[in-house]
Structure 1
Amino acid sequence: MSARNINHEIIEDLYSEALLLADDARAVFDLRIGEKGDNASDSLKIALSIEGLRTTTRVMHVLAWLLNQRAYLAGELSAAQLARHNELPEERSADPANLEALEPETRALIRESEDLHARVARLDREMRRAEDHADAPVQAMQDRLAQAFGTGG
């Protein structure tokens, strides 16, 4: 199996996982905020709002990265377009104080989203490192040509 096919499988699996997680996050945070309503303390409402926003943003960043990968693998984006527009934003971890206020199921969902982001970030770094290594011989050849023709230093 080629590296492109393996990457395609990995991207598709992660995409399916991210879609499920996005749906779970929407349901959990919508329900939690709705269920608690007026009975919830202000600190719980704030914790739910903050961590709900962080979690959904984290998952949406992952989905955007995966969608760009899928477009590239489908031939809809060039390698240059992918490199220019597909940087996964840095992770913003959950606030431990907010986590303490939340139910165990909600904390588990947040951890799941952090884990997914970490796995995709690791894949992103590995793919970028592989691209850098692939470009090294080309860059070396360009440097030698520039030196030979007196246009480089």
Structure 2
Amino acid sequence: MALTPNLNPRIIEALYAEALVLSEEVRAVFDRLRQGHDKRALIGANDDPEADLAHVQLSCEALRTTTRIMHCLAWLLNHRAYFAGELSELQLRRHGRLIANFPLSDPLQVLAIPADAQRCVHDSERLYARIQRLENAWRGATQPTGSAIERLRSRLAMAIPAAL
């Protein structure tokens, strides 16, 4: 059961494993960085506004990155369910969409965070772009052309000569 030649259970499973590993790495990196900011705040080292801005930028990037990965995981889980026979293709098409054009991180904000967090942000953007390409290919490969009425007329025209 394959939706397109580019989308099959092995690809979905490989991407799912990659997304899980990335989500754990992102959690660990941003938790470690957040804890470092929290410790500095407790000892009063964060009295300057630049440190507060850095903390907000870090929080924003953490939220944006984890949300991006969660959207990827949701899309992958829906496709895993389809390949396992738990969802029909119609259910998958209705409820298994990836949010189109999820905003990329602001490059200037990303430069303001530590290198390991920057790598996590970029890895999440690359994963999202790969899944978005699969989504576009999958939806584009099976999108019906014309309106529903035109498709019905075409089917009727093919069925009527065969019946005579």
Normalising by structure 2, we get a TM-score of 0.79
Shift of 1:141: 5.6
Match of 2:56 among 38, 46, 57: 46
1:20 aligns with 2:21: yes
Give the greater-gyration-radius structure (CA): 2
1:98 aligns with 109
2:133 aligns with 122
Shift in alpha-carbon separation, 1:99–1:141, aligned structure 2, 3 A: closer
Match of 2:88 among 53, 67, 78: 78
Runs of 4+ in 1 over 6 A off after TM superposition: none
Deviation string 1:1-42 (CA, Å, 9 cap, x unpaired) is x76796111000000000011111111111101012224510
1:77 alignment partner, SS class: coil
Percent identity of the aligned residues? 43
Deviates more, 1:35-44 or 1:112-121: 35-44
1: CA distance between counterparts of 2:124 and 2:151? 43
Consecutive unaligned residues of structure 2, counting only runs of 5 or more, are none
- Quote the RMSD (CA, aligned, Å): 2.4
Shift of 1:142: 2.1
